[in-house]
Amino acid sequence: MSYASPEFWIALLQIIGVNIVLSGDNAVVIALAARGLPIEQQKRAIVWGSGAAVVMRIGLTIIAVELLRLPYLKLIGAALLLWIAIQLLIPEDEGEGHGGGGTSLAAAIKTILLADLVMSLDNVIAVAAAAKGNTVLLVVGLAISIPLVVFASRLLLTLMDRFPVIITLGAALLGWVAGDMAVSDPIDKPWVDLNAAFLHWGAPAACAIAVVVVGKWLAARKAPPMAEAARVPAVRAVNSPVLQRVLLAVDGSEGAARAAQWVVGLRGDLREGATLDVHLLNVQRSVSGDVSRFVATGTLEDYHRERSEQALAPTRALLDAAGLKHKDHHRVGDPGAVIAEVAQAEACDMIVMGARGIGTHTGALLGSVARSTTEYSSVPVTLVK
């Protein structure tokens, strides 16, 4: 595979894409492991820990490349990659932190290395398969993608949170790589080349489609059942005296800011003497079980609290300036289900939120969180554009 061939550059893009998608949890562990250190030590922990992890990852992947030359191992690796790709689309159960609470530089570097060793099986197999035995391609791909994940981890996580379709595309890419692995194993490649050459593109395409279909189906089955009351939402007039408690769900997006402004204006539409009780809520998505194994519970709680405070701050300032009293809520979990749950627990009469927020799928008429909330909620939901 020469540098001038399209196959080289396609494989390089596959390596970078796979590593970015599968390294999200590693990026979270890196950030949290160094969180309790002074600023200067944080930088040293990230640089030294990540540098050692890069060397370890390259070594493990080179070994995997050589092992995949043996019969049947590519078939086994393909099956494992398909499972990993499907799991990527299934929401993680909310886990508690189990990692140690050490805050020394050495402890942080140790945590980064241990986490990368344990959590990198999927990366190693997928990248080794995409490299197709080309060691130069392998090293170049990892050298580009790993520093990108390490030093732009916050940006990458924000993009994945804002555009969940990236995860779906990443899972499909893993399915494609798995299909290509399956038909290039030494045990079946000669037969495929001779009798069914179309499988070189047909099998990857079929596996990519199957991963998305099966993953989405399993994710739908895992989602909590829709409340019966949510199927026939109640309709109440805005100036009704029944409207006393409003749940304002925000995520720091422009849509959330417009929703907050709508709630401020809502007070003027109420009957004279009526009060408006605002419950301000931000829901952070839970990290995966892999991350929680290496990070202390307190560190995870601080991480979620900090991100939640950042999302709530603009809306809190707006409500305070308007003289609207509010009660703040911080939660972790699936946003749509949690928003509906809090609204019910606080006996709210209405949920107000942006129609398109941070968790918006590209091209969707409604954001994924807004759509999910309307499905779960047993009270009216007002979506502000």
Indicate which CATH number applies to the domain containing 267: 3.40.50.620
Residue 72 belongs to domain spanning? 6-217
| Residue 1: inside a domain | no
- Statement to judge: residues 112 and 161 lie in one domain: yes
Neighbouring-strand partners of residue 278 = 246, 326
Cβ contacts of residue 277 below 8 Å, gap of 6+?
Answer: 244, 245, 246, 325, 327
What SS3 state is found at 356? coil
pLDDT value at residue 344: 92
> What's the confidence (pLDDT) of residue 235?
38
Does the structure show a pLDDT above 60 at 358?
no
CB atoms within 10 A of CB 290: 17
CA–CA distance, 186 with 330 (Å, rounded to integer): 53
Q: Is residue 329 part of a domain?
A: yes
Q: What is the pLDDT of residue 365?
A: 39
Are 178 and 98 found together in one domain?
A: yes
In a domain, 222, yes or no: no
Among 146, 257, 352, 4, which residue's Cα sits nearest to residue 342?
A: 352
Does 235 lie in the same domain as 211?
no
Do residues 72 and 184 share a domain? yes
User: Are 97 and 23 in the same domain?
Assistant: yes
Instruction: Answer whether residue 236 shows pLDDT above 50.
Output: no
My answer on whether 165 and 258 are in the same domain is no
In-domain check, residue 253: yes
Answer yes or no: do 279 and 144 share one domain. no
Question: Domain for residue 157, yes or no?
Answer: yes
What is the predicted pLDDT for the residue at 348? 93
Average pLDDT, the chain: 77
What are 183-226's pLDDT values in tens digits?
988 888 899 988 888 998 999 999 999 999 998 888 777 665 55
Amino acid letter, residue 195: N
- Amino acid 160: pLDDT: 67
Question: Given this model, what pLDDT does residue 156 score?
Answer: 62
- Same-domain pairing of 210 and 233: no
Structural domain total, the chain: 2
Coil, helix or strand for 157?
helix
Read off the pLDDT of each residue in 343-370 and give the average, rounded to a whole number: 70
**Does residue 119 carry a pLDDT above 70?**
no
pLDDT at 384 over 60: yes
pLDDT tens digits for 311-355? 999 999 999 998 888 999 999 888 888 999 999 999 999 999 988
Q: Are 142 and 58 in contact (CB under 8 A)?
A: yes
pLDDT at 230 over 50: no
From residue 21, give the alpha-carbon distance in Å to each of 84, 194, 207. Answer: 12, 35, 18
Same-domain check for residues 109 and 241: no
In this structure, is residue 27 part of a structural domain? yes
Q: Which residues of 148-185 are buried (b: 16+ CB within 10 A; e: fewer)?
A: bbbeebeebbeebbbbbebbbebbbbbbbbbbbbbbbb
Residues 5-39: tens digit of each pLDDT: 788 788 888 887 777 776 666 666 676 776 667 76
* 43 has a pLDDT exceeding 80: no
Predicted pLDDT at 92: 56
* 223 in any annotated domain: no
d(CA 63, CA 56): 11
Residues 203 and 259 in one domain: no
In a domain, 205, yes or no: yes
**Residue 42 in this model has a pLDDT that exceeds 90:** no
* Of 192, 217, 242, the domain-final residue: 217
pLDDT value of position 362 = 33
Confidence at residue 117, expressed as pLDDT on a 0 to 100 scale:
66
Residues 43 and 80 in one domain: yes
pLDDT digits (tens, 9 = 90+) for 49-107: 777 777 777 788 788 878 888 888 888 888 888 887 887 777 655 444 455 545 577 77
- For residues 212 and 308, membership in a common domain is answered with no
**Cα 295 from Cα 286, distance rounded (Å):** 13
- Report whether pLDDT(278) > 90: yes
CA distances from 256 to 48, 63, 277, 373 (A): 39, 49, 18, 14
Structure confidence at residue 121 (pLDDT): 67
Q: Which of 152, 185, 217 is a domain's end point? A: 217
The domain boundary, picked from 184, 217, 250, lies at 217
pTM: 0.62
Closest CA to 349 of 252, 236, 271: 236
